[in-house]
């Protein structure tokens, strides 16, 4: 057979070849009559002895390639050199290596591309023997050049969410991860920055810990608050304030003159009530909370809740289907068209012209019970509702961006809660300031919110004032922590890929490596 193999050096000679069903064995030797000492670099022509090195190379199809390399030892003739005997060196092979350099590169790409267990399964078809621990050692021994930069970004991530957290540091210029710290404490970050006095700019989120650590390490470092986190924190402040002012579901009757039926009492959930009674009986007999949680496959919080339960639980109300949610804004039109004795198909055509894009079945689910109750003489109010979360989305997006259907619903909400319109103006003013990156209008907006303790952004503006220098830099600097957010997502993918072996040193190597 023909072997697609070329000698990596000109003076490397193939003096023998053996082939089997599973392997190809190459016998190689150098034909040079001299060698250079690795310590002093002097040339030597005095050979001492030779020995054979067994190496692995890239496979040829399904056959493993083994190299038996004759390596020679030489005398160093330099008087002042401490090394008297040395072994000749090869450009394609490291000292003491059992694999060629190109095979090492192939294995290194496998190790950094997938988990070591998966790499072991892939490599078994190309090598005679290799284990996942070999890939772990290969990752740890890989030397990665870390650039010296003046601008970095800092963000935290979770080793185990809610328990252990670490810190990721990236170069904002080359986008390369620089380090992974095993915690996010102020002292650790401060010591890392003190050891690198060349750093001039640090981008971060609104963390007080990071702010204090950077200030303590070097007051001259320019801190940049991340613009995405500023927007995110403002949105969270809006949602938190609306949670106190609005119910979870805003409801109103579209025909206020009609009689509103009182809601019927929900039926008892018999199966859950039996389970609650069993849990309470076992607890009275002395069974521990942890054992109850394992026995019934429930969380400890649920067990505590069941032990306090006195009355039988009721079956939960079925949530409104998305199809009916689309139909709700057209209830008034449907009722009006029904009084004109139009058919269901005719009503569907009418409301489609008004903007309805739902299905015919959703209309039937509404109109058929309504007509049946109408024949029986049962009067009931048609309730229209919208969630608090949807209202917060509309406020953040801006009322001018809503379509006609949404504006009709908004008018009902504004009639019930008059503060929605001025709140939307405050939010849109803030968003316009960020789009234009105008710092002076932001300061004026901040002072306006601080002057009113009842403002939804009072506490948020207090945080802006405490970190005002970093906020100003966020408007003027091109750097942001968006890079860190993407790298944290990549880190999570690598961490899960490693199946629990994501120790900080391995995780750091995987993050720093570039193909």
Q: Is 257's pLDDT higher than 60? A: no
Is 234 part of a structural domain of the chain? no
| CA nearest neighbour of 93 among 84, 102, 81 | 102
Contact present, 17 and 27 (Cβ < 8 Å): yes
Is 249 part of a structural domain of the chain? no
Is 468 part of a structural domain of the chain? no
Looking from the CA of 155 toward its CB, the CA atoms found within 13 Å total: 24
- The single residue listed with the structure tokens 């900080």 is 504
Is 426 part of a structural domain of the chain? no
Distance CA 142, CA 95 (A): 16
Mark whether 164 and 204 lie in a shared domain: yes
Question: pLDDT per residue over 172-189, tens digit each?
Answer: 999 999 999 989 999 999
Distance CA 346, CA 468 (A): 60
Confidence label for 2 from pLDDT (cuts 50, 70 and 90): very low
Question: pLDDT per residue over 261-318, tens digit each?
Answer: 434 556 788 888 999 999 999 999 999 998 898 889 899 889 998 998 888 887 765 5
pTM, entire model: 0.67
Is 238 part of a structural domain of the chain? no
Residue 182 sits in which domain range?
A: 151-226+482-512
Count of domains forming the chain: 4
Report which secondary-structure segment, H or E, holds 202: strand 201-204
Is 37 part of a structural domain of the chain? yes
- CB burial readout 66-93, b (16+ within 10 A) else e: bbebebbebebebeeeeeeebbbebeeb
Q: 387: helix, coil or strand?
A: strand
pLDDT for residue 261: 42
Distance CA 415, CA 113 (A): 58
472's CB contacts (< 8 A; 6+ apart) are: 439
Question: pLDDT per residue over 469-482, tens digit each?
Answer: 898 998 888 888 88
Q: What are phi and psi of 181, to 5 degrees?
A: -95, 140
Mark whether 156 and 219 lie in a shared domain: yes
- Tallying the residues shown for the chain, one arrives at 515
| Residues of the chain above pLDDT 70, percent | 93
Phi-psi region of 118 (alpha: psi -120 to 50; beta: other; left: phi over 0): alpha
- The single residue listed with the structure tokens 């986008």 is 175
The CA dihedral of 459, 462, 464, 466, to the nearest 10 degrees, is -140
Report the CATH number that the domain containing residue 158 is assigned in CATH. 3.30.420.10
Question: pLDDT per residue over 86-95, tens digit each?
Answer: 998 888 888 8
Label residue 429 exposed, middle or buried (CB < 10 Å: 0-12, 13-18, 19+). middle
Is 501 part of a structural domain of the chain? yes
Mark whether 198 and 221 lie in a shared domain: yes
């Amino acid at each position: 057979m023909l072997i697609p193999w070329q000698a990596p050096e000109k003076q490397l000679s193939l003096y023998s070849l053996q082939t089997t069903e599973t392997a190809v064995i190459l016998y190689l030797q150098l034909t040079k009559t001299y060698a250079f000492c690795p310590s002093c670099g002097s040339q030597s022509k005095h050979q001492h002895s030779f020995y054979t090195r067994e190496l692995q190379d890239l496979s040829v199809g399904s056959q493993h390639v083994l190299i038996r390399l004759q390596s020679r030892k030489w005398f160093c003739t330099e008087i002042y050199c401490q090394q008297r005997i040395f072994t000749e060196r090869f450009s394609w092979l490291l000292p003491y290596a059992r694999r060629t350099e190109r095979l090492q590169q192939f294995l290194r790409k496998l190790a950094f591309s997938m988990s070591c267990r998966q790499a072991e399964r892939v490599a078994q078809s190309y090598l005679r023997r290799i284990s996942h621990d070999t890939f772990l050692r290969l990752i740890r021994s890989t030397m990665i050049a870390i650039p010296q930069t003046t601008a970095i970004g800092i963000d935290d991530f979770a080793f185990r969410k809610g328990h252990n957290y670490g810190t990721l540091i990236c170069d904002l210029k080359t986008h390369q991860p620089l380090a992974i710290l095993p915690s996010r404490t102020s002292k650790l970050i401060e010591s890392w920055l003190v050891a690198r006095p060349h750093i001039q700019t640090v981008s971060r989120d609104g963390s007080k810990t990071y702010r204090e650590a950077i200030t303590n390490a070097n007051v001259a470092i320019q801190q940049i608050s991340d613009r995405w986190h500023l927007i995110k924190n403002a949105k969270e402040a809006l949602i938190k304030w609306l949670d106190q002012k609005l119910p979870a579901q805003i409801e109103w009757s579209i025909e206020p003159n009609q009689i509103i039926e009182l809601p019927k009492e929900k039926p008892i959930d018999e199966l859950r009530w039996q389970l609650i009674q069993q849990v309470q009986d076992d607890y009275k007999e002395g069974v521990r909370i942890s054992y109850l949680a394992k026995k019934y496959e429930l969380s400890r919080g649920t067990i505590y809740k069941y032990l306090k339960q006195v009355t039988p639980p009721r079956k939960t109300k079925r949530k409104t289907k998305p199809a009916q949610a689309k139909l709700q804004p057209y209830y008034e039109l449907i009722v009006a068209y029904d009084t004109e004795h139009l058919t269901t198909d005719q009503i569907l055509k009418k409301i489609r012209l008004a903007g309805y894009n739902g299905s015919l079945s959703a209309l039937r689910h509404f109109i058929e019970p309504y007509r049946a109750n109408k024949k029986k003489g049962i009067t009931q109010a048609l309730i229209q509702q919208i969630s608090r979360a949807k209202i917060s989305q509309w406020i953040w997006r801006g009322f001018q961006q809503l379509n006609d259907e949404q504006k009709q619903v908004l008018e009902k909400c504004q009639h019930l809660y008059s503060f929605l319109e001025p709140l939307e103006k405050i939010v849109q003013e803030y968003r316009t300031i960020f789009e234009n990156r105008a710092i002076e209008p932001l300061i004026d907006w901040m002072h306006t919110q601080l002057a009113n303790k009842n403002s939804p952004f009072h506490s948020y503006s207090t945080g802006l004032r405490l970190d005002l220098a970093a906020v100003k830099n966020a408007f003027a600097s091109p750097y942001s922590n968006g890079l860190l957010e993407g790298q944290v997502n990549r880190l999570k993918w690598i961490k899960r890929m490693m199946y629990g072996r994501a120790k900080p040193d391995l995780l750091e190597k995987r993050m720093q490596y570039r193909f």
